[in-house]
């Protein structure tokens, strides 16, 4: 348990730091870019694809896990690719004088 506790406390520390970091970086984003900000952060939470890969690939003996993992891959794949692609499409349009 102590090993788990140590890891958990480290995770918690990282979590707290990420909260403040998120607020800090976002407060400097102008309202001009709030839509790309939303779709960009949308793409970032697509990181759950890491979890989808692990559950789709690791669970050899459970058909249920395989089926659900497969659907998780579809959802996470759409999140990642769509999120970054649509953000790129928007940001490409912002041009100065």
Partner 1 sequence: MSDNLTTLAYLPTIISFILALKFLSSPKHARLGNQLGAIGMALAIAVTLAQKHFYGLGYMLIAVGGLIGGGIGWVGARKVKMTDMPQMVAIFNGVGGGAVALVALVEFHQTAAEPGRMLLNVSIAIIVSALIGSISFAGSMVAFGKLQGLVGDRPIVWRGQRVGNIIILLIGITAGTFILGGHSYQLMWLLLIEIAAALAFGILFVLPIGGADMPVVISLLNACTGLSASAAGFELRQNVLIVSGMLVGSSGSLLTLMMCRAMNRSLGNVIFGAFGQIQTGPSTAASNEGLTVRATTAEDVAIMLAYAHKVIIVPGYGLAVAQAQHDVRQLADLLTARGVNVEYAIHPVAGRMPGHMNVLLAEANVPYTQLKEMDEINPEFPQTDVSLVIGANDVVNPAARSDKSSPIYGMPILDVDKSKAVVVLKRSMNPGFAGIENHLFYEPETSMLFGDAKDSILKLIAAVKAV
2 counts as binding partner 1 under rule CB under 8 A? no
Segment 28 to 87, residues that bind partner 1, using CB under 8 A: 28-60, 62, 64-66, 68-87
Angular region, 35: left φ>0, alpha ψ -120 to 50, beta rest: alpha
Q: Using CA atoms, how far apart are residues 70 and 91, in angstroms rounded to an integer?
A: 32
**Which residues are CB-contacts of 37 (< 8 A; sequence separation ≥ 6)?**
26, 29
Does residue 6 touch partner 1 according to CB under 8 A? no
Residue 13 C-beta: closest distance to partner 1, Å: 10
Nearest approach in angstroms of CB 83 to partner 1 is: 5
């Amino acid at each position: 348990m102590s090993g788990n506790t140590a890891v958990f406390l480290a995770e918690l520390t990282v979590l707290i730091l990420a909260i403040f970091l998120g607020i800090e970086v976002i407060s400097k984003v102008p309202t001009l870019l709030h839509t790309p900000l939303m779709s960009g952060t949308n793409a970032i939470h697509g990181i759950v694809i890491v979890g989808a890969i692990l559950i789709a690939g690791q669970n050899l003996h459970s058909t249920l896990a395989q089926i659900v993992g497969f659907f998780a891959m579809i959802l996470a794949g759409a999140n990642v690719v769509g999120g970054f692609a649509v953000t790129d499409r928007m940001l490409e349009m912002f041009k100065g004088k």
